[in-house]
Structure 1
Amino acid sequence: MPLHPACECHTATRSYEFSESHAIRGSTIGMVLSKQAIPDISQNGGKHADFPGAKAPYVSKMKFLNEQSYDPIPIYRVIDNKGQVIDRTEEPRIDNETLLNMYKTMVQLNQMDEILIESQQQGRISMYLTNYGEEGIQVGSGAALLPRDMIFAQYRELGVLLYRGMTVTEIVNQCYGNHEDRDKGRQIPMHFGNKEKNIVTASSPLATQMPQAVGAAYAFKRAPNNERCVICYFGDGAASEGDAHAAFNFAATLQCPVILFCRNNGYAVWTPTNQQYRGDGIAARGLALGLHTIRVDGTDALAVYRAVERAREIAIQNKPVLIESMSYRVGLHSTADFSNNAFRSVEEIQKWAQEENPVEKLRLYLEGKGLWNSDIEKQFAKEARDIVLRTIQEADQKKKAHWKEMLKDVYYVMPQHLQKQMNQMEKHLEKYKEHYPLDQFQSE
């Protein structure tokens, strides 16, 4: 079919009418297309195409594009590594109480990391994942959300959960898996959830939470005027999963109120980003798939706060957002790792820990505003440490949940096959009870 030019001001339309039985290669099509339904597929004298799958100008010179064809997406920041504001017009309007709460949450998070790693090394808990280098990401984003917003976390968002209001006791009980743990000892440490605080329980398989988060956001969209959004956290490694692409595409095509928040900390366990992907990182995928997109300095809590604050305003208008937050994972992937410097140099780790430390940056910013000093720092750090130590001592004395709990909460009414397993276990324990530390578990 030949292309016809349209006028410069309006899209020309043509009428295509098919009879009730118009035969094409043996097939019968019964349809009539509206005269107003079909726009001219060529605009501006044939220089601009209007295909269903792409609207772009025509060119007569062939050129293949690659990542060097475009400038990289810039990284947004508010303060430098000395805590100095770069552009006063970009400084977020955060009250002093919130600023102090953000910093105190970071300090509390650092104390928990240090002590719970020691607990794992002593065999008191099975594993732990640190947050060193990513404190700004977690606290900055958590502070910009509202309590009614739903959080889908992965396993390195402890700062988000602390800021949302989860207590040190609640977190430590989960890591120890005692009877006061919400999961009743049936989850891996660091896989938190809290229904009352709109925190969906994390699961270990990477990226499974991403399409789930988009689905929850779609449900929010179908209940209009609720002023809620969903935020979904994932890492650069999870972004390589198929579920990540599906989530991006569903969010964009269904126009869901969701913030897809990528923590790009440079490594997927031991794999550096230059072995994970090519091109301009995760943010470029957002632009390609139709998401409002920004790349932000994850070591700058204020920049993260501003980005998420604005992203939330966009998302609740049913315009999905992708945030790629750039940081560096200073610590091990988890305590299951064999070495922190087997796949990178000690110098690299020290450089990031010293020069782009998110906790240090915010502390310097607060000191510049007269809100913090070294005396307050020492006092609060001691208080934060004492809270964790006291909570661990208490958690260590608490019994595990009764063994029957491992078979409960699967079905509303326990089916016969699970009841059979429970009966078999009861008989087994009765016969071999001397081989099991039943005194460490609650009785019925």
Structure 2
Amino acid sequence: MPQDQPPLQVALLGCGTVGSAVARLITEHGDDLAARIGRRIELAGIAVRRPQRARSLPGVPAELITGDADELVRRPGIDLVIEVIGGIEPARGLILAAMANGASVVTANKVLLAEDAGSLFAAAEEYGVDLYFEAAVAGAIPIVRPLRESLVGDEISTVIGIVNGTTNYILDKMDTVGSGFAETLAEAQELGFAEADPTADVDGFDAAAKAAILSSLAFHSRVRSADVHREGIAEVTSADIASAREMGCVVKMLAICELTDEPEPRVSARVHPAMIPLSHPLASVGDAYNAVFVETRSAGRLMFYGQGAGGAPTASAVLGDVVTVARNRVRGALGPGESNYASRGIAAMGDVVTRYHIRLEVADTPGVLATIAQCFARHGVSLQTVRQQTLAETAGGEKQLAEAQLVLVTHQATDQALQATVDTLRGLSEVAEVSSVMRVEGN
């Protein structure tokens, strides 16, 4: 390693759970990192919103703390900027300023990448710098680089992932312990798996941003969060979990990215709870773990599994990018830029084809099943299985109108046809309630 070369100067934006872990790793493992890069790296400054609080963090050099992020990224001699503050602004402005100053950027900002990756890549190309973002999707799991580099010579057809640890923890505990959604969410908050405001996780916003990034990489087309169909898990009930178990399935919150065939290849990106068979590789992913399942033409099926969040795991992904970008800097090279040559359109959710599980509360009278079946047939939706259970026949000692529960599983149908069927069912006098509609994926 050349001894006469000055250290590469690194600016760190943000010093929360991830940022403080990154700062400690850079300072504590300086010799190892230098040996891997071929040149030392040195923290030039750490920008935070509350400098006084950050100066008391263990392992974080207090003398490097500053409240002026804009000055830091524009400071002469900065080679690399690490952005872990999140959100759209001021992160976007700071990243663009850093690139204009000649610095390469490593970011974990999934929200910004899913919203405006195009302008970031354009700036990186204009100023001849790198943009790396492994930590933006699935924490420590290496999935961005395989899609961006390792599989770039292959044709990817599908990327399906469990990319949010909070929702996976909740659904896993509802399945294994039998508790309800609200109870399990409260437990997840107590254990630190869920935020005090869990909206981004349980309503699918976090997973949708990651699905947009995965789709963009896999299918060489720009996909934004707004292009991703999103449904949360708040409506998943214990009855849904039990029905899945009876079918030999488990309920998971999935990010599904795939190409549709008709009338031309389009990108379909969606995030929602779904039943998947126990034989599927993602079915056994429990607790707060993440996993991404990729199908390609040549390499076949690949599975990436590990910790998808947390300070140390995410910092590991950040440091991996730092080493790569620093090596490029030493060699005068650049990594890959944006690959959006395909420019595929976004498929409408109504055109997505899958199977469905529907649970109905109906009057237990002659002809009801035939009426229900005709409703499905009218919309071109074929039924695979039908199961009926009588719920109640008497109340207060007097004969009442019997109610029954129908559990139906369809063959593959478009989302548009299924939604039209459900709308019609809700208008039938024989149907007291459409209790649940859930997709069945994976076979």
TM beyond 0.5: no
- TM-score normalised over the length of structure 2: 0.23
- TM-score normalised over the length of structure 1: 0.23
Structure holding more strand per residue: 2
Larger Rg: 1
